[in-house]
Amino acid sequence: MKIRVLFLLLAASFLLGCGKGVPNAPSVTANAGEDQTVFINLQCELDGSASTGTPESFSWSVKTLPSGVSSLTIVSSGEKKAFFTPSASGAYEFTLSVQKGEDFSEDTVKYTVVPFSKASIDSGFYGVCAHLSSHDGSTEADLDAHINSPQDIGAQFVRFDFDWEDIEPSNDRFDFSKYDSIAAKLKAKNIKILGVLDYGNLWCDPTTGETSAINKFADFAYNAAKHFKLNIKLWEIWNEPNNPFFWTTTSAEAYTRLLKASYGAVKQADPPRRLFWEGCSAMVKIRFI
């Protein structure tokens, strides 16, 4: 009798518990990024890069819009990184859906859009243009010598390239180590940085004027400004875009589109920062925007 009772108890346990099995955890998890505050009429980036499980598909959609806004276009809505331009202040909510096989996951993110606030203009400082990211020679002593020179003449700023292909050699693979080292050396000398975000790379050329390529560069600008936001206040977009050596087929229209997209990206990554546009080819003119 005892054996029969024990058998019945084990059978009931199996049917109620183990017999159902344990459901598998989803193989993908959507992550729409952190809530942000951005500026009106500037292109903003939606970033699902933190999603896990290598999703096979991404889909961005509008969840809520501010009162009075009836619709909104999401550029590249089927990609991991998408873009939108808010036309009014208020709260915008977006949903990111990711899928892998039969597994599905969603996450939402909120963007608070506020009126644009222009930065004030500092004056009375001096700077020099250098090539610290491509200095002659390859030793630390060479770099130190190039950094000491501006300090010796009393320069308070150094302008130098933050080369896209160095920082993002392949799509979404960022490596800031080279520029972290340079920035640290300049900070130790109390020299500030005007960083020039520029040049294409083997996997993407924004000088073509293609929207997807321009937005890839804007994503690079966003990540660079976000990474260096504690140390770099000033950014310039491209170097001498009116020179065919730096811009394959010179085009004011294409450069303006690149500038507008990058402007919004930098302001989104770190709103207090300032941005410059590049002037003429021989004598560098810089304007505050």
Cα torsion for 278, 281, 283, 289, to the nearest 10°?
Answer: -10
pLDDT at 130: 86
Q: Helices in 62-169 by DSSP H: which ranges?
A: 140-152, 164-167
Give CATH for domain 36-114: 2.60.40.10
pLDDT on residue 250: 86
**H-type alpha helices, the chain:** 2-16, 140-152, 164-167, 177-188, 211-227, 252-269
What is this structure's pTM? 0.79
Nearest to 173 by CA among 49, 258, 53: 49
pLDDT of residue 138: 66
Considering the chain, what percentage of its residues have pLDDT values greater than 70? 81
Q: pLDDT digit string (tens) for 197-249?
A: 999 888 999 999 999 999 999 999 999 999 999 999 899 999 999 888 889 88
- Checking if the pLDDT of 14 tops 50, the result is no
List pLDDT tens digits, range 39-65: 999 999 999 999 999 999 999 999 999
Question: Sign (positive/negative) of CA torsion 242, 246, 250, 255?
Answer: negative
User: Of residues 25 and 201, which shows the higher confidence score?
Assistant: 201
Which tokens hold the place of 141?
């002593």
User: What SS3 state is found at 19?
Assistant: helix
Homologous superfamily (CATH) for 127-288 = Glycosidases (3.20.20.80)
Surface-to-core class of residue 130, CB atoms within 10 Å of its CB (0-12 exposed, 13-18 middle, 19+ buried): buried
Q: Which residues does residue 58 pair with via DSSP β-bridges, in sequence order?
A: 98
Helix axes 140-152, 177-188, angle to 10 degrees: 40
Instruction: Give yes or no for residue 196 having a pLDDT over 90.
Output: yes
Pick from 206, 222, 208: which is nearest to 83 by CA? 222
pLDDT in tens, 68-79: 999 999 999 999
| The pLDDT of residue 124 is above 70 | no
Q: Which residues contact 189 (CB under 8 A, 6 or more apart)?
A: 147, 148, 150, 151
Whole-angstrom distance, CA of residue 73 vs CA of residue 209: 20
- Distance CA(206)–CA(195), nearest Å, equals 19
As a whole number, mean pLDDT of residues 115-125 equals 65
The token duo for 149 is 């020179």
| DSSP annotation string for 55-102 | -SEEEEEEEE--TT------BTTTSSEEEE---SSEEEEEEEEEEETT
Is pLDDT of 86 > 90? Answer: yes
Span 27-43, pLDDT tens digits:
899 999 999 999 999 99
Domain ranges of the chain: 36-114, 127-288
Q: What pLDDT, on a 0 to 100 scale, did the predictor assign at position 289?
A: 38
Q: In angstroms, rounded to a whole number, what is the distance separating the alpha carbons of residues 218 and 130?
A: 24
pLDDT tens figures, 126-169: 788 888 887 655 678 888 888 888 878 888 899 999 999 999 99
User: Which tokens in the block code for residue 8?
Assistant: 């019945």
Please check whether residue 34 is in contact with residue 110, taking contact to mean a CB–CB distance below 8 angstroms.
no
Cα separation, 101 vs 249, in Å, equals 43
Q: Is residue 11 scored above 60 in pLDDT? A: no
Residue 119: the pLDDT is 60
Residue 69 to residue 88: CA distance in whole angstroms = 7
Give the number of other Cβ atoms within 10 Å of residue 147's Cβ.
19
268 φ/ψ angles, rounded to the nearest 5 degrees: -70, -40
**The pLDDT of residue 90 is above 90:** yes
Q: Which of 104, 90, 239 is nearest to 164 (CA)?
A: 239
| Whole-number pLDDT of residue 19 | 46
In total, the chain counts a number of residues equal to 289
Q: How far apart are the first and last CA of the chain?
A: 89
